Amino acid sequence: MSSIVSSQFDLHECHGGVVPELAARRHVTAIVPVVEQALQQAAVDRDDIDAIAVTQGPGLAGALVVGMNAAKGMAYALGRPLIAVNHLEAHIYANWLCDAPDLPKEPVFPILCLLVSGGHTELILMTGHGHFRHLGRTLDDAAGEAFDKGARLLGLGFPGGPAIEEAARAGNAHAFELPRAWLQGTHDFSFSGLKTALLRLTEPMREPQSDRGPETLSPTSPSGPFKPHLPPLYTAGSPITDLAAAFQDAIVEPLAVKTAQAALEFGAHTVVLAGGVAANALLRERLRHEVLRLCGPGVPVVYPRLAYCTDNAAMVAGAAAWIIRRGDLVGWEADVHPRLSLLPT
Ligand code: KG4
Ligand code: ZN
């Protein structure tokens, strides 16, 4: 009915990544206006709300606490149930939002799910609603984190995924050979070696930092004493777009190939892509290609609409609708869980 996203990129960009304290403080000021705007856009009254859903974790504690307290306040004031949603489950359930494209009908179980975000890279077998079996994960950096670190190294800005994707459009992915960690015989991933390889490759192309005067510093944040990020400067003619294309390819290829292999191995009827990195056009295309090649045309690959790939509240509400059907309501003692996983531990 409505989905309002209050972006904080402006606040964090000059730091080259998210500053947790600034994130929490921006949540404090944004949360009430965002709720008001969502109600207005949906043209519904507070009393029309059936339940309040909130992200419980995983995520940054300070930001989660702001959401949890606001949700408890609303649920208490309205006398409605509170639903605590796992952020990872919400990303997956973005694929059930009714206007998801390429969704002829609901994804059919068993579903092989590749969840790729800034903090997670996981291969999950979903055998039914709320039933998740963990197959593999990244052993070091998450795919989104790799995009962000790569973009930082290349001086392409934050968030790194869209910046690398944009730069890669003008580049040649075959101009450089970057390593892929295949971790054969497992369903795990690894991206830290790739990041180190990019660092080694680009070091000789950079201007020495000591040559740079203070005028080249990014503007400091008006919100506090947090260090600005000093983007690297490259010598003229450095092949940044080729490096971006090769780097993107080296992240996408193992993700697509290993997901398709797992889909075949576990007899998945649908492959589902989720998380911020699911917005990446090359990943969508490669995954389709690999699943078609290995599993045939009977196994569709689905992914959410672009707006529902990166963090949003619609996916939290969408997951909550399924959680309500399972009867999983929480009480007032509900707390945030910054390191919550998808499976009960
Ligand atoms: O799910 P998300 O919004 O936040 C987390 O839960 O982490 O994912 C954010 C991540 C960031 O690392 C960002 O660089 C990446 O998703 N991302 C992309 C693209 N759009 C966002 N990565 C690759 N290509 C994109 N188009
Ligand atoms: Zn997320």
Specify the pLDDT at position 50: 94
- 3 state SS of 206: strand
**Average of per-residue pLDDT across 176-181:** 97
Specify the pLDDT at position 345: 53
- CA–CA separation, 235 vs 10, rounded Å? 27
Ligand 1 centroid–CA 59 distance in Å is 14
**Average of per-residue pLDDT across 123-144:** 97
Residue carrying the six token digits 């672009």: 306
**C-beta of 16 in contact with ligand 1 (< 6 A):** no
Work out the pLDDT band at 101, boundaries 50, 70, 90. low
pTM above 0.85, yes or no: yes
Query: What are the residues whose beta carbon lies below 5 Å from ligand 2 (ion)?
Result: 117, 311
Judged by average pLDDT, the poorest of 170-174, 213-217, 234-238, 292-296 is: 213-217
Segment 205-212 long-range contacts (CB within 8 Å, at least 24 positions apart): 205/234, 205/235, 205/238, 206/232, 206/233, 206/234, 206/235, 207/232, 207/233, 207/234, 207/235
Specify the pLDDT at position 89: 97
Specify the pLDDT at position 225: 66
75 has a pLDDT exceeding 70? yes
- CA–CA separation, 7 vs 2, rounded Å? 16
187 has a pLDDT exceeding 80? yes
Longest dimension (CA), the chain: 62
Work out the pLDDT band at 216, boundaries 50, 70, 90. very low
Specify the pLDDT at position 276: 98
- CA–CA separation, 112 vs 132, rounded Å? 10
* Angle of the 20-42 helix axis to the 61-78 helix axis, nearest 10: 30
**C-beta of 150 in contact with ligand 1 (< 6 A):** no
Of 88-102, 231-245, 331-345, highest mean pLDDT: 231-245
104 has a pLDDT exceeding 80? no
288 has a pLDDT exceeding 70? yes
Ligand 2 centroid–CA 25 distance in Å is 19
**C-beta of 86 in contact with ligand 1 (< 6 A):** no
Torsion of CA 136, 154, 5, 220, to 10 degrees: 130
**C-beta of 275 in contact with ligand 1 (< 6 A):** yes
Judged by average pLDDT, the poorest of 243-252, 256-265, 322-331 is: 322-331
- Choosing from 122, 195, 310, 340 the residue with most ligand 1 atoms within 8 A of its CB, the one to mutate for a pocket test is 310
Give the model confidence (pLDDT) of 260-273 as tens digits: 999 999 999 999 99
82 has a pLDDT exceeding 90? yes
217 has a pLDDT exceeding 60? no
Specify the pLDDT at position 100: 52
Do 276 and 92 form a contact (C-beta atoms < 8 A)?
A: no
Average pLDDT over the chain reads 92
| Cis amide prior to 159 (ω within 30 degrees) | yes
Give the model confidence (pLDDT) of 7-54 as tens digits: 888 888 888 778 889 989 999 999 999 999 999 999 999 999 999 999
**C-beta of 304 in contact with ligand 1 (< 6 A):** no
214 has a pLDDT exceeding 90? no
